Amino acid sequence: MKNNVYIETYGCQMNFADTELVMGILKSKGYKLAKDIDEANIILLNTCSIRDNAEQKIYSRLDHLKGVKKNNPDAVIGILGCMAERLRKNLIEEKKIVDLVVGPDEYRRLPEFIDLAYGGEKGIGVKLSRTETYDDIIPYREDGLSAWISVMRGCDKFCTYCVVPFTRGRERSRDLNSIVEEVKSLELRGFKEVTLLGQNVNSYSFEEKDFADLLASCAKAAPSMRIRFTTSHPQDLSDKLLNTIAEYENICNYIHLPVQSGSNRILELMNRTYTIEHYLNLIDKARKIIPNVSFSTDIIAGFPTETDEDHLATLEVMKKVRYDGAYMFKYSPREGTKAFQMKDDVADEIKTRRLNEIIDLQQKISWEINQSLIGKEETILIESLSKKSDEFYSGRTDSNKICIVPRNDSYNIGDYIKVRINRATSATLFGEPI
């Protein structure tokens, strides 16, 4: 039972990628990965701080883990990730069952902290680094079809609402060659798709190479794989990158481009460093350069001082861009950020109403876009059996939409196939192979 680790991951894809790093580090030191929490004596939660509700989820999980600790007093319970970085030793003081707290740049020292915890001491590692990229660590991945690779860490943008620069530190990029090698080895293992991850991938920079160079190198190195990437910042999305996406067949024509708000006044208060006019021009330009490009976005409802007029401007932008999908949130004040000093003056009922209007509009747009795909051809990667029926496969289009097709002996999970769409809801396409 000793040295059996169980990790639960919360938050963004970065955190899921970090969990694979942590597993890589621990496996190399002889730890075993438990499939089930009951088999584990080391339980780690890789946590998110982006909004208050993300943290509340962890607190209730910790309350539940009290029972585990009661049954197994020797169990080590650790908090990793953004909450570890944000709350540091307060977490250990407030939550007595927590034995170690390790932030995103100190994962190499995790085995050391676990040893301390075995000796009854509490371990805290929350130093942020300007250079740590875990370049030499091979993440532990189960066999599969899709993988993510973090190509940079941290963020220097300092959007006024966001904790990430504080929890993940300054921006730094990984060695391009090591990323390309990792993509190649994933292809050899049979992976079919990789997503390059960073808080702001467009500011990737390694020796003289930028993100467009990195994407092109990955696309060339693994021609049988689909290459995706996230997240792009509207200020840094270059023409060169758009041309690169257009040039390579295996780079998905899909850009996640968070707008956050449609009001220039709010964008300025958010320190987003672009105007809505710049943003819309960028969308137009991308559509010219990349035929069939689709977009998704992030939107925050109820930022301090947001008026109904600002909110209407956000709805207007959604109507103009017609996003394929959106992640939509209520503003949540985060201690330590610049916006935290502003009064959180939009009442919760108003935030909820605005958020619901945003969600309803997006649902309507997604439905309309999906209806317009009926009769069209799409290439999908078959990922799994459909959740609802073994008679169907579930796959994904280039633009990341789920597409259900009948199961058939002529294709299998892991194949790319061409389908014609014959039915659609706002969230799902249904197709027939051609």
For the beta sheet containing 4-9, the strands, ordered from the edge strand earlier in sequence to the opposite edge, are 32-33, 4-9, 42-47, 76-81, 100-102, 123-125
Is 300 one of the binding residues for ligand SF4 (CB under 6 A)?
no
| Per-residue tokens: 176 | 């391009």
Rounded Cα gap, residues 27 and 29, in angstroms: 5
Question: Looking at residue 336, what DSSP letter applies?
Answer: T
402: amino acid identity, one letter: I
Is 167 one of the binding residues for ligand SF4 (CB under 6 A)?
yes
Is 84 one of the binding residues for ligand 5AD (CB under 6 A)?
no
Query: Which of 50, 225 has the CB closer to ligand 5AD?
Result: 50
**Pattern of binders to ligand 5AD over 284-323, x per CB under 6 A?**
--------------x-x-----------------------
Residue 173, contacted partner among ligand 5AD, ligand SF4, none, CB below 5-8 A by kind:
none
Neighbours of 309 (CB within 10 A): 9
Rounded Cα gap, residues 54 and 11, in angstroms: 7
Is 157 one of the binding residues for ligand 5AD (CB under 6 A)?
no
Residue 167, contacted partner among ligand 5AD, ligand SF4, none, CB below 5-8 A by kind:
ligand SF4
* Contacts of residue 15, Cβ cutoff 8 Å, sequence gap at least 6: 9, 46, 47, 48, 81, 82
* Cα–Cα distance list, 415 to 284, 290, 379, 409 (Å): 33, 25, 10, 12
Q: Which residue is nearest to ligand 5AD (CB)?
A: 298
**Ramachandran angles phi, psi of 299, nearest 5°:** -135, 135
| Per-residue tokens: 293 | 């490009």
Q: Residue ranges for the binding site for [4Fe-4S] cluster?
A: 12, 48, 82, 155, 159, 162
**Pattern of binders to ligand 5AD over 224-263, x per CB under 6 A?**
----------------------------------x-x---
Residue 40 buriedness (CB in 10 A; 0-12 / 13-18 / 19+): buried
The residue among 217, 224, 222, 215 whose CA lies nearest residue 255 is: 215
Name which position in 75, 98, 101, 164 contacts ligand SF4 (CB under 6 A).
164
Query: Which of 48, 75 has the CB closer to ligand 5AD?
Result: 48
**Pattern of binders to ligand SF4 over 26-65, x per CB under 6 A?**
----------------------xxx---------------
Residue 81, contacted partner among ligand SF4, ligand 5AD, none, CB below 5-8 A by kind:
ligand SF4
Residues 44-73 that bind ligand 5AD (CB under 6 A): 50-51
Is 161 one of the binding residues for ligand 5AD (CB under 6 A)?
yes
Buried b (16+ CB within 10 A) or exposed e, 175-199: ebebbbebbeebbeeebbbbbbbbb
Q: Residue ranges for the binding site?
A: 12, 48, 82, 155, 159, 162
Q: Applying CB under 6 A, which residues contact ligand 5AD?
A: 50-51, 161-162, 258, 260, 298, 300, 329, 331-332, 334
Interface with ligand SF4 (CB under 6 A): 11-12, 14-15, 48-50, 81-82, 163-164, 167-168
